[in-house]
């Protein structure tokens, strides 16, 4: 079976993507790194800070276009 994993660390500096095969053992087939755009990184980090408007700052279907 093939699986794709996507994650970002707590620094939100980018996305790490891995393609692995699981067939009795784990084999890394490919990996890729995509830097996080600075505006998106700043917005995501802002959502990590608690405050009275954190729900209002989160994306909603009406604001995502």
> pLDDT (tens digit, 9 = 90+) per residue, 12-60?
999 999 999 999 999 999 999 999 999 989 888 887 777 777 677 666 6
Taking 60 as the threshold, does the pLDDT of residue 65 lie above it?
no
What global pTM score does this model have? 0.65
16 within 8 A of 8, measured Cβ to Cβ: yes
How many angstroms separate the CA atoms of 26 and 8, rounded?
21
Q: Give residues with Cβ within 8 angstroms of 46, minimum separation 6.
A: 57
Check if the beta carbon of residue 41 is closer than 8 Å to that of residue 13: yes
Rounded-to-10 torsion of CA 32, 33, 37, 41: 120
Distance of CA 8 to the CA centre of its chain: 4
């Amino acid at each position: 079976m093939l699986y794709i994993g996507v994650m970002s660390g707590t620094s939100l500096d980018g996305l790490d993507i891995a393609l692995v095969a699981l067939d009795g053992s784990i084999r890394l087939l490919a990996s890729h790194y995509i830097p996080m755009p600075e505006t998106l990184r700043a917005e995501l980090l802002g959502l990590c800070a608690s405050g009275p408007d954190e729900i209002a700052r989160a994306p909603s279907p009406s604001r995502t276009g």
